[in-house]
Amino acid sequence: MNIFIVYYHPEPKSFNGALRDTAVTTLESQGYTVRVSDLHAQDFSPISGRHNFTTVQNENYFKQQLEEIHATESGGFSEGIETELKNLEWCDLMIWQFPLWWFGLPAPLKGWVDRVFAMGRTYGNGKFYQDGVFKGKRAMLSLTTGGPEAAYLPDGFNGDIMGILRPIHRGMLAFVGFDVLPPHIAYGPAHLDDSERTQLLADYEQRLLKLETEQSLTIGTY
């Protein structure tokens, strides 16, 4: 199985970094091939523009989707975007590893979606959801939160975590055809002691060992 991890955290020694390292070590030990895009290390810019492309569809007016379609037809994506697109097309499973910031993705990861999920190449022309370009592939969010699990229950301080993640699960991953696995959430690691964080990493390792048999979420539950 080919696994593509898209990772963002500005501190390499963070708990997100530890989760990424656990994933790479565990998955490679099972004989899987793993690729990682470390968006912070790459200094990946979240800002879209003509620099996404080496081709020009309309030099007088920039419409990103039309430029994406043109680039798809003419091989006109910039080297960095083309690399990410090829990783998407190569993988059987994609994992996003990130801290939940302001109920969403950190800017570099959201910008990665804005720039890499290109019309014509990753969606469009009737290819959406169950008929999407990445039909048959799976995706999973692995994330950390600032607060405890109780804060993310339906009656919790921040509300239902699945409701918070729905725009990502459905509006990004499922939209382009991925089957979405239940998220893996490490709640409030900054407030835990070393032994508790070690246990969270062990829990993640155990889950990763069972990925091949894990069932995707049912559309309508996210």
Mean pLDDT, consecutive 10-residue stretches, the chain (222 aa), reads 98 96 97 98 97 97 98 98 98 98 97 98 96 96 95 94 96 97 95 94 96 85 67
State how many domains the chain has: 1
Query: Is residue 209 assigned to a domain?
Result: yes
Which residues constitute the domain of residue 177? 2-213
CATH code for position 16: 3.40.50.360
pTM for the model stands at 0.95
Query: Is residue 36 assigned to a domain?
Result: yes
Query: Is residue 35 assigned to a domain?
Result: yes
Q: Residue-wise over 174-184: b if at least 16 C-beta within 10 A, else e?
A: bbbbbbbbbbb
Question: Which of 76, 105, 80 minimizes the C-alpha distance to 169?
Answer: 105
DSSP one-letter code for 190: G
Residue 218: how many CB atoms within 10 A of its CB? 8
pLDDT in the model for residue 82: 98
Looking from the CA of 56 toward its CB, the CA atoms found within 13 Å total 7
CA 5 to chain centre: 7
pLDDT in the model for residue 89: 98
Q: How far apart are CA 133 and CA 89, in angstroms?
A: 9
Three-state secondary-structure class, residue 211: helix
How is residue 24 written in tokens? 């790479």
Q: How far apart are CA 165 and CA 171, in angstroms?
A: 10
Q: How far apart are CA 100 and CA 148, in angstroms?
A: 13
pLDDT in the model for residue 132: 96
Q: How far apart are CA 99 and CA 128, in angstroms?
A: 27
Q: How far apart are CA 222 and CA 168, in angstroms?
A: 9
Residue 28: how many CB atoms within 10 A of its CB? 12
pLDDT in the model for residue 218: 81
Query: Is residue 222 assigned to a domain?
Result: no
Query: Is residue 221 assigned to a domain?
Result: no
Contact (Cβ atoms closer than 8 angstroms) between residue 99 and residue 144: yes
Query: Is residue 14 assigned to a domain?
Result: yes
CA distances to 120, 149, 152, 161, 169 from 155, in Å: 41, 11, 8, 11, 21
- Paired sense of beta strands 138-144 and 93-99, if any: parallel
pLDDT in the model for residue 220: 65
Nearest-5° Cα angle at 64, 118 to 35: 30
